[in-house]
Amino acid sequence: MVSESNRGGADRTTAAGEEKEERGQLLFDVPEIRFTKLFINGSFVDAVSGRTFDTRDPRTGGVIASVAEADKEDVDLAVRAARAAFDHGEWPRMSGSERGRIMARLADLVEEHAGELAALESLDAGKHPAVTRAVDVGNAAGSLRYFAGAADKIHGETLKMPGQFQGHTLREPLGVAGVIIPWNFPSTMFAVKVAPALAAGCALVVKPAEQTPLSALYLAQLAKQAGVPDGVINVVPGFGPTAGAALASHMDVDMVSFTGSTEVGRLIMKASAESNLKPVYLELGGKSPLIVFDDADLDMAVELAVGASFFNKGEACVAASRVYVQERVYDRFEERLAERMRSWVVGDPFSDPRADQGPQVDKAQYERVLSYIDHGKREGATLLTGGRPCAPEGKGYYIEPTVFTNVKEDMIIAKEEIFGPVMCLMKFKTVEEAIARANDTRYGLGAGVVTRDLDVANRVVRSVRAGVVWVNCYFAMGSDCPFGGRKMSGFGKDEGMHALDKYLAVKSVVTPLRASPWI
């Protein structure tokens, strides 16, 4: 049964709620869906239009719950609430240490409710609940705690100006932040965007992806429980062309931070240019290279390549979808990779204890990935493994992990972001060639290098144009490690102290020096 808390809710029975009866005992409990309405000014409310949309379980395609669908009118209400909270409310006027205490309480609540939150997000996104709890929810709590500690450490500078003047800078909260988050790591991305904005003293309107709205609504009520004042965090589930577009073009939104596709990033920048020229920060697509040199530990390199390509079903912007292996060890690497993929299990993450990979997030993404696999076949690439749908019970959006060999740089699968479990395996001869091919992309989000040679590693790190480069590891991230891309992978940083810059305005203050003994 779907319920909503004492602030009102839906009154329907869902496919998720009946699943134990239909499919037998599960390894993880299907969570109760308690929050399905818009969260505006501290309350759960219906959409102005009364419309809802279905969020679906990618394991079966069945409906989990019906969620209130925000439109322009709802975004207007949410922005109005955020504006009032910022212009007249207590949050930006609190001391940084007090904001930090409330944020730390929110981090505690996220950890306290980690099991339910992880199961909820896993149900919505087709992820493994144990991994989601450790990685996604763990990262969310970590980001909140990190920026809770940063809230009272936002300082300006003193300026030694020419002539008889002195100056200093103030770093002030920017205002109302519009945040649009993706569906692949919903809890993590909610916290990664919200935490620095809260620390800075901003108010927010968050639009979660329509595929995965449930965790953002859950986190919003935890924020209220932690003591975040009403209106500071508002959550408006809905669709990009309506709710997302209204937020990006809103004249009373002071900035937008977006993570998602390059195509939508363009639309958001256009909306900003045509409205109030609000600053926009984008974390977009990727086609990240992993470069394996011939001195590498091949077993380690294979494991890194598998994890870098297929973690989270390949639904990661920084996934290493282009793997380059030096020709002297290429054949051995390919053989070991093929052997490793034979033990890779695709299955229901709620019921199959062996499952390494669950379903793609929805039918549209499932069909998109399969279309790219068809492109690869038609263009002449060779399938080493996978390449087919593989729903365990004939339901859901499951795809075999797919490795293509004999891939050329001009093939679509080598150039475009697929955002699914597809790896392009290629060989190279020299360091110079590896660097040139790694940089031969419109993206610049991440990269990896596997080698025992420190000189080679340093050369590649300095030469590859990407926002993050991993050496003998991959997907190693942390709240203190800035993350963001270059080129068409976007600009601006999430995580680390640099993330605060997006939500702060720098004001210079100049005063004259009257009869000072020092100039």
Binding-site residues = 181, 183, 207, 210, 261, 283, 417
Whole-number Å distance between alpha carbons of 325 and 301: 10
Burial per residue of 120-158, b for 16 or more beta-carbon CB atoms within 10 angstroms, e otherwise: bbbbbbbbbbbbbbebbbbbbbbbbbbbbebbeebebee
Neighbours of 55 (CB within 10 A): 25
Q: Which of 342, 357, 349 is nearest to 129 (CA)?
A: 349
DSSP letter, residue 134: I
Helix (H) or strand (E) holding 444: strand 443-444
3-class DSSP assignment, residue 161: coil
Sign of CA dihedral 37, 42, 43, 49: negative
Q: Is 53 left (phi over 0), alpha (psi -120 to 50) or beta?
A: beta
Residue 159 dihedral angles phi and psi, to the nearest 5°: -120, 130
Contacts of 393 (CB under 8 A, 6+ apart): 348
First to last CA, the chain: 73
* Residues contributing to the annotated binding site for NAD(+): 181, 183, 207, 210, 261, 283, 417
* CA atoms of 141 and 149, how far apart (whole Å): 13
Backbone angles phi, psi at 69, to 5 degrees: -100, 110
Alpha-carbon distance 41 to 116, whole Å? 24
Specify whether the CB–CB gap between 5 and 221 falls below 8 A. Answer: yes
Of the listed 4, 283, 400, 495, which one is catalytic?
283
Beta strands in 121-260 (DSSP E): 158-160, 165-173, 176-180, 203-207, 233-235, 255-259
283 counts as catalytic? yes
CA-CA-CA-CA torsion for 322, 477, 399, 364, nearest 10 degrees? -100
Q: Supply the residues annotated as catalytic.
A: 283
